[in-house]
Structure formats: C-alpha cells, structure tokens
Chains A and B, each alone.
Chain A
Amino acid sequence: MEQKTALYACHVACGGKIVPFAGYLLPVQYGTGIIAEHMAVRTKCGLFDVSHMGEVMLEGPDALKNLQYLLTNSYIVMDPGRIRYGILCYPDGGVVDDLLVHKISNTKYFIIVNASNREKDVQWIREHLQGDVTFSDLSDTYAELALQGPLSRQIALKLTAKLPEKYYSFLSDCDVSGINAVIAQTGYTGELGYEFYVKNENAPALWNLLLQAGKEEGLIPCGLGARDTLRLEASMPLYGHEMDETINPLEAGLNYGVKLDKDFIGRDAIAVHPLRRTRIGLKAVERGILREHQDVYLDSEHIGRTTSGCYLPYLKGAYAMALVEVGKVDTGDTVYVDVRGKRVKCEVVPLPFYKRTRVL
C-alpha cells in the first residue's frame, strides 16, 4: 500500500497525474506535461516534491570512523556545512546505494539516501556500525522540496535572507518565511538549485509560498517524469540503472566518489580486479528513441547494454548512457543500439550530455 507524502493534497490541487513510485504516490507530471516541465527547469524554475527520499543521521564520537568504513569516499578533510557524495558497497564491490553526506559537525552527519533503497540502506548500515555512534532514520519526519533552475536563487531570496552560496554546501536552521528549514545547494537536474528539508507539517505551506513567490518568474510544479529526463540530460547516474549490486562504482564512472587509498567495505574487490566495463554516452544519429536495457553493438559484436535512455527535451535528441566492455570504443565512434528489433545508428559522445553555463 503506497504512502502519501505531506504534499499529496498539493499535487492533486495542481492537477498532478499521480503514480506509485518507491512506495509513495507522487505526480509523474502535471497538466503542463513532461517536456514543458523539463524546459521550465532549464530556462526558468521548477518545484519538485522529493519527500520520498530518505534522511538518516549518524552521530557520536565514532561517526566519522563509520563513514570512512561504510562509504567509498573520504570525509576526513571536510568543513561543517559541506556536502559530499558517497557510495555504499557490498564486499564484492557491487553498489548498495549512492547518497549525499551533509556534515553538521565532526560528530554529526545528515545523510540523504534513495527512496527505493531506504530500508535496505538502514538495515545495511545498522548491521555494520561500530563503536560509539547512534544511527537514526528520520525519513518519516522530514519532507523535501527541490527548487531547480536559473531563477531559483532570486525566487528563494524572496522568502529567506540567506542561502548556501556554494554548490554542495548547506545551512541549518534557516527561516523561510517563518518555516524552519535546512537548505542545501544540491539537486538532480544539472541546474542551479536548492533542496529544502522541513518537518512534514510545514511542507504544504512552503510549497505554496514557493509557488506564489515564483509566479512572476514562471515557476511551475514538476513531476517525476521531468526529474528523470533532467538527470539523464545532465548524465547523472541513477541507482538501478547506471549502478546496482552487480556494477561497481568505477565501472559506473563514479571515480570522483571513490578513494582507494583508504579501507572501506568492497575496497579490495574494486581495487584488485582490472576494470572490465565502463559507462559511455550515446546519441542516436538516425531515427529512433534509445531506452534502457537495449543491446549495444560495435559492428556485429555485442559490447554491452544501455542503462538509461530517452528523448531529451532541451537537447532535442535521443540519448542513452550504456555500460560497455572497456577499451572497445572511443568518443566519435559509431555503434548500433537494438531498439525493439531495429538497429539504430549512434555516435559515442562525451558525458555529460548537458552542462549548464555558470554565471559568475
């Protein structure tokens, strides 16, 4: 039985097309449609309910020690108020989940995990905790709203005096028109944006305040459909696609989140075995829409499968990310993807497909 987030009534009021997702009822789109919602985020601003995401807290003298052992990344050199990507691995190097660690202090870390993996992550972490540390699952008390797009900053500043200035930084205890919130400069769209963490009971008020504040800028609510097309256009990995329990972080191209010079669960498996597969970007150069789980061919040789794919609204083309045998192809090479029995010609293109131009 699916749960409703604190914003369910808001979605219905906004004309959301509700679907089940990761155990929750959420809008896949509103009346505007996925393409319009995607373009709003790229050109103006969009507002997402991401309350289905999980929030957990690791606290105590041994909190850092646990992070170092559980996660692939290193959290030793890190200022409070900063955020760092991390990956939970199995002993064989396969991925449990990817997540974001928010450092509140040397002994207190707020961690955001994927909705679909929350229970699995909580169990995994609990089973591997060591020393003097407490671990709590706060997911059911927090709602999360994501405000994403080039106009997000000016809209948010109408409601709050201070915003985190750097990408992957956050502020605790913010006053957003009287609502207490943690505000992080993070997002899953490839645009400037902020994620607001508030208590469930305050979520509808914040949703409405943001929509009202962003009205003249053209802010619209956006659903899961646009969330997926935006992250794919920005070539951001999604658990269950670019990585899962059978794919290790280096194969998924997540080298920036992996520090092999320290010990962590799965380190040896990842470090010892030479890389056999790699993530690449594909663009269809003839008619056809690339989707996930489609076979990729170099001439007649099967070299791998797509992990995600769709029509990208801003770039106006069919793109896919694929996991293929290492060393087989380079940027510019031609491969063929089997789209429901038809071979579609593609070009290997660099990742990310889309990168926003940063205004200083």
Chain B
Amino acid sequence: MKETLKDRKYTKTHEWVLFNEDGTADMGLTDFAQEHLSDLVFFGLPNVGDAVKKGCAIGDVESVKAVEEYNSPVDGDIAAVNETLLDNPGSVNADPYGVWVVRIGNITAEGELMDADAYDAFCTEALKDEE
C-alpha cells in the first residue's frame, strides 16, 4: 500500500482532494481505490465548465472487469481535466497520488472529508468488512 499523504483530504468513496493556493482543488483516486479496481483501461471525464456537487458522481472509470463512478469532494465547477488519462489510464494505478483526474474551481462548499489518519482507519475497517 502506498503511503497516505498528509497534504490532502480524503472521501469515504476513496477520492483524494488537494486544495491549491489559487483556490482550486485537484481530485484523484486513492491507492485503496486503484488496488480494488486493478488495471484501469478507460477514464470517462467530465467537461470543463460542468457544475459538480459534493458526494455526487462526476465521471466513471473502467477496469478490465468493472465500471465505477468517482465522486466530487466539493461543490464547484470543473476548471480542467487531465487529458493524459485518455491515452494512459494505467498511470493512476502506477501513481495514484501523483496523477490528478480533475481540477475544480469556484468552490462553494466541501463534502465530508477526512484527514490522512482518519482515512487510514476508515480503510482498515473497510478491509475488515470485506473478509
């Protein structure tokens, strides 16, 4: 398992959010998410300008066997999407915390977010439930 970084926050649906100095926030998938999905083969990205709501789906990601939605950690609108994911979805498997998926701007509210320690505890519980 890759180390959960302390510079960012986490959601219960396994997205990470990093608040930037310019007021935007970057969102990506956590190591727990990419481990569970395994090899990613496709990213469905939202459009720049789309309004997003905290806890609601903004796009989907496909592994070989499954399709999963990913959710926005905040209320706002899409400022940018990581187009490298169109040709290289597997980069998220290799470097989940180094590869951002969308950048959100005009943030008006945050969803339920956990810090790194709380997220680690949450994941430990989630793994126990799976057994």
Are A and B physically bound partners? yes
Q: Is the interface of A mostly helix, strand, loop or mixed?
A: mixed
Contact across chains for B64 and A310 when beta carbons are under 8 A apart: yes
- Supposing A287-B86, A289-B62, A311-B62 touch, asked if A340 and B38 sit within 8 A by C-beta, the answer is no
- Supposing A287-B86, A289-B42 touch, asked if A311 and B64 sit within 8 A by C-beta, the answer is yes
Q: With the chains together, A153 CA to B64 CA distance in Å?
A: 29
By a CB distance below 8 angstroms, the chain B residues around A310 are 64-65
By a CB distance below 8 angstroms, the chain A residues around B115 are none
Closest partner residue, chain A, to B36 (CB atom) = A17
By a CB distance below 8 angstroms, the chain B residues around A17 are 38
Closest partner residue, chain A, to B62 (CB atom) = A289
Query: Does B67 lie at the interface of the complex (its beta carbon under 8 Å from any beta carbon of A)?
Result: yes
Contact across chains for B62 and A28 when beta carbons are under 8 A apart: no
By a CB distance below 8 angstroms, the chain B residues around A35 are 39, 41, 64
Q: Is the interface of B mostly helix, strand, loop or mixed?
A: mixed
Contact across chains for A34 and B39 when beta carbons are under 8 A apart: yes
Closest partner residue, chain B, to A228 (CB atom) = B65
Q: Mark B36-65, 1 if CB is under 8 A from A, else 0.
A: 001101100000000000000000101011
By a CB distance below 8 angstroms, the chain A residues around B67 are 289, 291, 340
Closest partner residue, chain B, to A224 (CB atom) = B65
Report the minimum CB–CB distance from A185 to chain B (whole Å).
28
Q: With the chains together, A17 CA to B131 CA distance in Å?
A: 12
Contact across chains for B65 and A225 when beta carbons are under 8 A apart: yes
Q: Mark A229-245, 1 if CB is under 8 A from B, else 0.
A: 10000000000000000
25 A-B pairs (CB sep. < 8 Å): A33-B39, A33-B93, A34-B38, A34-B39, A35-B39, A35-B41, A35-B64, A36-B39, A225-B38, A225-B64, A225-B65, A287-B42, A287-B86, A288-B42, A289-B42, A289-B62, A291-B67, A310-B64, A310-B65, A311-B41, A311-B62, A311-B64, A313-B64, A340-B60, A340-B67
